[in-house]
Structure 1
Amino acid sequence: MNSTGAEADAARGAFALDSTSPGAAPHGFDAFRRGWRTQLGDGWPMPTFSPATTGDFRVRSRVAKVRDVGVLDLYGASAIRTAGDRHNHRDHVRMYVVRRGAWTVGGPTDRGQQTVSAGQFLIRRFERPSSFEAPPHTTAKILTLLSGALTPLLGDESITGPADSPEVRLLVAHTNMVHATIADLGPAGVRAAHSALIELAKAVAVGRFDDVEPRLAPALAQAAKDLADTHLADPELSAAMLARELNVSVRTLQRAFAATGDSVSAYIRQRRLEEARLALTAPSDRLSVSELAAHWHFADSSHFIRAFKKQYGQTPTEYARSTGRGPAVPDR
């Protein structure tokens, strides 16, 4: 392997685990520990989990290391608890974004406990070993930053806020892209991913981000796509609505999409057509062509049919018939 490849391999690492399926739990913790040690290395000591946790380790997780930043996505079907990270004494900052359940961190020796509830985030500096625990069915994203890049912004304070803030949306979108692409990143890609992680973590800490920073354009576009996916049936969905929710100008949002070779309106239309295509082959409650056009907010049936044929090479009725099903009312 050349030095460039070795540099990338040393600066990144990733593994995924699902021990929630029947029969996987008894070996779940061993697999997690093996993945952690081989992919993250000695620079990232694994937390010291309680015996109860290691004996019933039913989790679905994905872990990535990008230089000195770690990203963990975790769903715990079982409870998770540690007795303190006895081996981790490096000054570091952690960010917790909790979607479901709760995550409790710290203890009497570390400025007291703090609990992050569902729908909230917490950024906190840790100067000494700390413990954490979460009840069953907790879903969380955890970032660990060993570089101290956030320390000047935090001091001895913790920062909390809503998990649906624009800054958190961008950070989550970027971490998801990291998980999806990390295996293919070369040294330049690792550096870019790391730089964006640091900038977005800072943005969450201060409650704003630099919307003209080109390194953040992919994260902004992805955050807008993620948000659009949850509002496809909303008649108000538009570039203006997405820009408002993400606290940027429409021009900034359109520029971010253009940097990825896409446009806001094209993405919304493509996703609505995908949903309409799936609806055409639904096993029950199939809609007519005109009903589908109205439901997905096309101007009329003719516009919907033309857009569908351009996307899939068949009209809606032709597509439905080719799959052995058909809408209640044919194209016209």
Structure 2
Amino acid sequence: MTPATYPPPAPDSAPDGRTSLVDVSVPGRAPDAFDLLRRGWDDQVGTTIPIPPSRPVGGGDYRIRIRHSEVADAVVEDIYSEAIVGGTGGRFNHLNGRVVLHVVHGGTWDFTRAGGRGGTVVAPAGRFVARYNDPPWEFGIGPRTTSQVLILPAAELRPHLGDGHVDGPTDAPALRLLLAYLDTLDSVLDSLSPGGVRAARGALLELAKGVLTEGVDGDEPRFAHALVRAARQLADERLADPGLAPRVLAAELNISVRTLHRVFAGDGESVMAYVRRRRLERALGDLASSPSRLSVSEAAARWSFSDGSHLIRACRRAYGLPPAAYAQELRTGQAPRAGDGDRP
């Protein structure tokens, strides 16, 4: 029998243990598959978050890969899993008394109350489901499923959830805001002080409440960076839309236009200044990559400039060069390329 594979911890694991990587493979027909899986899990992440009773399905080799980050008593996991079934909560003695939020990016998760009470909740790609995990649940994960899973203390969240569940689309404004915050948190977590971790935990729970109640108080200063990041992501998706405006972004994020302007002002760049900068970067990038096929006027029209002369003026103001000359510098590597997201 091929032995289970237990790779060493990832080199980017945090020295204080806040972030770790679990990567375990088990032969599909191994009679002791769960024991092999549990042993690999315990060796790599310990017993802080125990593995649920489960078994691989489908007959092929099973692999699970989890990036596990602890934010005080909250946990954020990025998970890749092959098909598996198991149980959690209640008599399964796994994550009892926690609220668990699954955001599914590919594949499926499904949950059924153990004992057949109630229907099955299915979360395919593009959906999320949040559950109170004390009643026992049986779960299934589809092949090649990718998801983010938040394991959260229940005291502050259960009043918004009861013993049931909440589910919805991943493009819901409150969830988009939560995901933007998770991106930010991931980039700074390992460098936070203990006080910073506590503050991050508080913000995480407040945003999770927003998902459960379909609303977030955008006036809270601690959400400002996450709001800016989420608004920028939305704007980047719609740069070619001539109707892109602060009111459109604010409506998508379920906040007021005033709040949107205020959080951008705190970041040093107005909403429309960001939009103009990103449109200019996209237009110049297109000119650099298609010098013989795209005119300045065509690039201007593509990225919602009024006409070619507006694009020329914008480029001269930003870089001191007309678009064709700046595009040439981009091609020769003598000018910095436009970024594809937040400013440095």
Does TM-score exceed 0.5, indicating one fold? yes
Match of 1:184 in 2: 191
Does the C-alpha gap of structure 1 residues 157 and 259 become closer, same or farther in structure 2, counting only changes over 3 Å?
A: same
d(CA) in 2 for partners of 1:166, 1:309: 37
Aligned-pair identity in percent equals: 40
Assess if the C-alpha contact under 8 Å between 1:99 and 1:119 holds in 2. Answer: yes
Does the C-alpha gap of structure 1 residues 143 and 126 become closer, same or farther in structure 2, counting only changes over 3 Å?
A: same
Does the C-alpha gap of structure 1 residues 263 and 18 become closer, same or farther in structure 2, counting only changes over 3 Å?
A: farther
Match of 2:325 in 1: 318
Match of 1:88 in 2: 94
Match of 1:329 in 2: none
Assess if the C-alpha contact under 8 Å between 2:240 and 2:302 holds in 1. Answer: yes
The answer on 1:46 being equivalent to 2:42 is no
User: What TM-score do the two structures reach when normalised by structure 1?
Assistant: 0.78
C-alpha deviation, 1:200, in angstroms: 0.8
Does the C-alpha gap of structure 1 residues 234 and 168 become closer, same or farther in structure 2, counting only changes over 3 Å?
A: same
C-alpha deviation, 1:42, in angstroms: 3.5
Aligned residue type for 1:171: L
User: What TM-score do the two structures reach when normalised by structure 2?
Assistant: 0.76
Does the C-alpha gap of structure 1 residues 319 and 65 become closer, same or farther in structure 2, counting only changes over 3 Å?
A: same
1:56 to 48, 51, 62: 62
Secondary structure at 1:44's aligned position in 2? coil
Unaligned runs of 5+ in 1: 1-7, 21-28, 326-332
C-alpha deviation, 1:313, in angstroms: 5.1
The answer on 1:225 being equivalent to 2:228 is no
Aligned residue type for 1:72: E
d(CA) in 2 for partners of 1:285, 1:137: 42
Secondary structure at 2:63's aligned position in 1? coil
Aligned residue type for 1:68: D
Match of 1:198 in 2: 205
How many residues matched? 303
d(CA) in 2 for partners of 1:252, 1:164: 20
d(CA) in 1 for partners of 2:55, 2:320: 57
Does the C-alpha gap of structure 1 residues 229 and 139 become closer, same or farther in structure 2, counting only changes over 3 Å?
A: farther
d(CA) in 2 for partners of 1:135, 1:127: 23
Assess if the C-alpha contact under 8 Å between 1:92 and 1:127 holds in 2. Answer: yes
d(CA) in 2 for partners of 1:104, 1:63: 21
The answer on 1:98 being equivalent to 2:104 is yes
d(CA) in 1 for partners of 2:291, 2:41: 45
C-alpha deviation, 1:49, in angstroms: 4.8
Cα deviation digits, residues 261-282 of structure 1 (max 9, x gap): 2321122122222222321232
C-alpha deviation, 1:284, in angstroms: 8.4
C-alpha deviation, 1:180, in angstroms: 1.9
C-alpha deviation, 1:33, in angstroms: 3.8
CA RMSD of aligned residues (A): 3.3
Cα deviation digits, residues 227-253 of structure 1 (max 9, x gap): 112111111111111011112211111
Alignment of 1:1-332 (within 5 A): 13-15=18-20, 33=41, 37=45, 42-51=47-56, 55-57=61-63, 62-76=67-81, 79-85=82-88, 86=92, 88-109=94-115, 111=117, 113-127=120-134, 130-282=137-289, 286-312=293-319, 314-324=321-331
d(CA) in 1 for partners of 2:42, 2:233: 32
Assess if the C-alpha contact under 8 Å between 1:200 and 1:209 holds in 2. Answer: yes
Cα deviation digits, residues 76-110 of structure 1 (max 9, x gap): 5xx33143355525311111222333211244248
Unaligned runs of 5+ in 2: 1-13, 26-36, 333-344
d(CA) in 2 for partners of 1:221, 1:137: 32
d(CA) in 2 for partners of 1:277, 1:13: 41
Does the C-alpha gap of structure 1 residues 232 and 73 become closer, same or farther in structure 2, counting only changes over 3 Å?
A: farther
Aligned residue type for 1:224: A
Aligned residue type for 2:94: N
Assess if the C-alpha contact under 8 Å between 2:219 and 2:259 holds in 1. Answer: yes
Secondary structure at 1:192's aligned position in 2? helix
Secondary structure at 1:50's aligned position in 2? strand
Cα deviation digits, residues 181-229 of structure 1 (max 9, x gap): 2122222321222111100111111111112111122221111111112
Does the C-alpha gap of structure 1 residues 160 and 147 become closer, same or farther in structure 2, counting only changes over 3 Å?
A: closer
Aligned residue type for 2:84: R
Assess if the C-alpha contact under 8 Å between 2:56 and 2:83 holds in 1. Answer: no
Moved more, 125-134 or 183-192: 125-134
d(CA) in 2 for partners of 1:202, 1:294: 42
